[in-house]
Amino acid sequence: MVFLKRQLPLLICFIIGTISAVQYYVPTHLSSDVAEGLSNWYIIVAMFASLLGFVSVGMVHSKKIQRKEPGWAYSALVFLGIALMVVLGFWSGGKETYDDGRISPFGWLYNATLVPLQSTMFAILGFYVASAAFRSFRAKSFDAGVLLVTALIVLLGNVPFTNYIWATGLGIHDIAGVKFEMTDIVGWLIGTPNAAARRGVTFGVALGAIATSLKIIFGIERAYLGGGD
């Protein structure tokens, strides 16, 4: 039992992890075929696991309905939505559009409900960005002040009218023969200090990911199997 629960998963992890790491350095078709095979296995496992997800959704919402918890009607709507999509999916032969170009009931429900809802959620992001920016741009410290000034320059530099004022109104085109317009300042801010900071983070992330992968491949980190040793 211990072998099945601990040693076998560790062995599988070591073999698959090593193959995946070596595969990166081996350019043959055999190597890419192995990678493709592993990827297909993952997809198959994920498909079976999606049943787990479906069962989990069913249990959570059926309990809410049974116990008449606050908002249980929304749980009923979940089942109604699932049933409606399944029925219309079968009715439409699983097609969003028919061969003659007409949209099927299944496709209509998808386009008329899910797509607008997704777009709405994404659109809310614009307002959240504004509120988050308002909070972070309060110049309480020197660092926050630098952030505020930099952000203002980038914001203004992306507005065509500001560029027009800079070049035409103020007549600034170059300093000591070097091209120096608003867009150049923005380009420098994004391309130099910002890119440098992001690359620093990327280096750290890459090393952290390699270290975590090594810990898992060599069986040093076993918590993902379910807790301690």
Instruction: Supply the minimum distance, in Å, between the C-beta of residue 94 and other proteins.
Output: 18
Phi, psi of 174, deg, nearest 5: -155, 160
Nearer to other proteins, 151 or 165 (CB): 151
Give dist(CA 79, CA 74) in Å, integer.
Answer: 9
Q: Which residue has the tokens 């300042």?
A: 185
Query: In this structure, what token pair is assigned to residue 170?
Result: 């103020």
Work out whether 223 is an interface residue with other proteins (CB under 8 A). yes
Residue of 3, 71, 143, 161 interacting with other proteins (CB under 8 A): 71
Rg (C-alpha) for the chain, rounded Å, is 28
Give dist(CA 15, CA 11) in Å, integer.
Answer: 6
Cβ neighbours for 228, distance < 8 A, ≥ 6 positions apart: 222
Instruction: Supply the minimum distance, in Å, between the C-beta of residue 228 and other proteins.
Output: 6
Work out whether 67 is an interface residue with other proteins (CB under 8 A). no
178-179 and 174-175 strand pairing: antiparallel
Instruction: Supply the minimum distance, in Å, between the C-beta of residue 20 and other proteins.
Output: 10
Nearer to other proteins, 98 or 112 (CB): 112
Residue of 66, 113, 136, 158 interacting with other proteins (CB under 8 A): 136
Task: Select from 84-92, 102-110, 155-163, 194-202 the region that touches other proteins (CB under 8 A).
Answer: 194-202
Instruction: Supply the minimum distance, in Å, between the C-beta of residue 229 and other proteins.
Output: 10
Work out whether 109 is an interface residue with other proteins (CB under 8 A). no
Interaction residues for other proteins, span 163-182 (CB under 8 A): 176-180
Spatial contact of 105 and 113, defined as CB atoms under 8 Å apart: no
Work out whether 128 is an interface residue with other proteins (CB under 8 A). yes
Phi, psi of 215, deg, nearest 5: -60, -40
Cα atoms found within 13 Å of the Cα of residue 195, Cβ hemisphere only: 7
Query: In this structure, what token pair is assigned to residue 135?
Result: 């909070």
Task: Select from 84-92, 98-106, 156-164, 184-192 the region that touches other proteins (CB under 8 A).
Answer: 184-192
Instruction: Supply the minimum distance, in Å, between the C-beta of residue 9 and other proteins.
Output: 11
Nearer to other proteins, 165 or 225 (CB): 225
